[in-house]
Amino acid sequence: MALRHAVLAVLLGGELSGYQLAKVFDTGVSNFWFASPQQLYTELTKLEQAGLVDGRLVIQVNRPNKRVYTVTEDGVAELDRFAAADAKPAVIRDDLLVKVHAVDPSRARAVVARIEERAVQAAAKAELFDETLRNLRGDLDEETFLATAERIGPYLTCLRGKRFEEENLDWCRRSADLIRARWGAEMREE
Amino acid sequence: MALRHAVLAVLLGGELSGYQLAKVFDTGVSNFWFASPQQLYTELTKLEQAGLVDGRLVIQVNRPNKRVYTVTEDGVAELDRFAAADAKPAVIRDDLLVKVHAVDPSRARAVVARIEERAVQAAAKAELFDETLRNLRGDLDEETFLATAERIGPYLTCLRGKRFEEENLDWCRRSADLIRARWGAEMREE
DNA sequence: AGGAACATGTAAATAGTTACATGATTGC
DNA sequence: GCAATCATGTAACTATTTACATGTTCCT
């Protein structure tokens, strides 16, 4: 049950609505915490009931009203406790690697196709992380930013995300090539 | 519900008991599919009921009897269907990155300690993956192995795991250094 | 008129975690 | 005798996914 901490960590960057939070989780945070919009709406309600965030209704013209959330003092205290606790090993579940693990001549064609799809997505995500990094830095170069910024956490996690996707891309290309090299003949025969 | 496919993919490598399967998931497969022993025992029972694996009791002397499982024809067919389907985006949930995302001067000391713990684990895992790669290769060099082996899938996923942990280690070191550089003074004051 | 982005939920079903339970053998 | 490894489960609880539900505004 650390979704709550992931939400609190993101809200540290400023008040957000459930919808905005879902977008952040879909991009900047997706490399270390996956959560669906439904989960986030539910979690925000629970966090507000627990007093860890404050909700505030924002009346909007030209679009539906929204409820934005801020971390409370209790929420910050909860993050303090969380930071002090041992980090659990990361949980990863990746369909694509399961497919690759099971690859054989008869499945090679399908698996290579899946790998190539993932390669495209990885390249796009790496670019997205890079864009986020540029936005976080603003006019500063990386060194200056990291030495002076109020919050360097989001930048550090984003660096990890960018590298992860770059490595994904590299692995996808190499693996697809190797599978074709190993079973190219059988793949063509089918 | 792709735990079943992860189990089938691993059992492709030869018959295993629940206990042995749990060990494989704890090491070689942990970089792309996390599952607890309890989950695996439950899943094997379900897979056998569904006819995707065959269980066989092995009587042992000097240690408790065990039940080992093999993939059936239906199980292979299920893997074929799975390989052909779109790969879902990977689900990742990593406590440590949440802690780093939320790092600030007051939490810096605790977060750096967690990062350093993870660095040690990452180094150990990278070494473990490397060992597994050597075992898979046997006497062959990597190129020859990948060009000739019956099953290259486990080798490819293991390569990804090794690189992932190496990158983790690198990121951990760099991030700990950067947090210390940014807030070293405040960290000493506490 | 239809699709995309904005905005938020509930309910049912599935999956996953944690605690509890048991028992043998080997090596120190 | 005690810890570690081998070996397998059940049950209660929590978390997550998926399907269903609704309604606005902007743009084409």
Residue A81's closest CA among B111, B105, B119, B172? B111
8 Å CB contact between B71 and B8: yes
Contact list, A100 vs chain B (CB under 8 Å): 153, 156-157
A49 touches strand D (CB under 7 A): no
Long-range contacts of B96-99 (CB under 8 A, 24+ apart): B96/A32, B96/A87, B96/A90, B97/A31, B97/A32, B97/A33, B97/A157, B97/A160, B98/A2, B98/A5, B98/A6, B98/A9, B98/A32, B98/A33, B98/A82, B99/A5, B99/A9, B99/A82, B99/A83, B99/A87
Look up tokens 């779109």; give the residue: B86
Which pLDDT value is given to residue A189? 60
B1 touches strand C (CB under 7 A): yes
Which pLDDT value is given to residue A75? 97
The mean per-residue pLDDT over the stretch A62-82 comes to 95
Q: Residue A89: inside a domain, yes or no? A: no
Q: What confidence tens digit (pLDDT) does each residue in A18-52 have? A: 999 999 999 999 999 999 999 999 999 999 999 99
Q: Average pLDDT of chain A?
A: 95
Is the CB of B152 less than 8 angstroms away from the CB of A103?
Answer: yes
Alpha-carbon distance of A168 to A105, in angstroms, equals 23
The CATH number that applies at residue B57 is 1.10.10.10
A65 touches strand D (CB under 7 A): no
Q: Residue B90: inside a domain, yes or no? A: no
Structure token digits, residue B7: 């189990």
pLDDT level of residue A187 (50, 70, 90 thresholds): confident
B36 touches strand C (CB under 7 A): yes
Count: domains in chain B:
2
Interface of A with B in 16-75 (CB under 8 A): 29-34
Residue B92 is inside which H or E element, if any? strand B91-93
B28 and B79 fall within a common domain: yes
Structure token digits, residue B138: 């046997």
Q: Residue B89: inside a domain, yes or no? A: no
Percent of residues, chain A, with pLDDT higher than 70 = 98
Neighbouring-strand partners of residue B163: none
Structure token digits, residue A88: 């659990």
Q: What confidence tens digit (pLDDT) does each residue in B98-149 have? A: 999 999 999 999 999 999 999 999 999 999 999 999 999 999 999 999 999 9
B70 and B130 fall within a common domain: no
Residue ranges making up the domain that contains A38 = 3-84
Q: Which residue is nearest to nucleotide C16 (CA to C1')?
A: B39
B56 and B102 fall within a common domain: no
B51 and B11 fall within a common domain: yes
User: Which bases on strand C have an atom closer than 7 Å to a protein beta carbon?
Assistant: 6-11, 14-19, 23-26
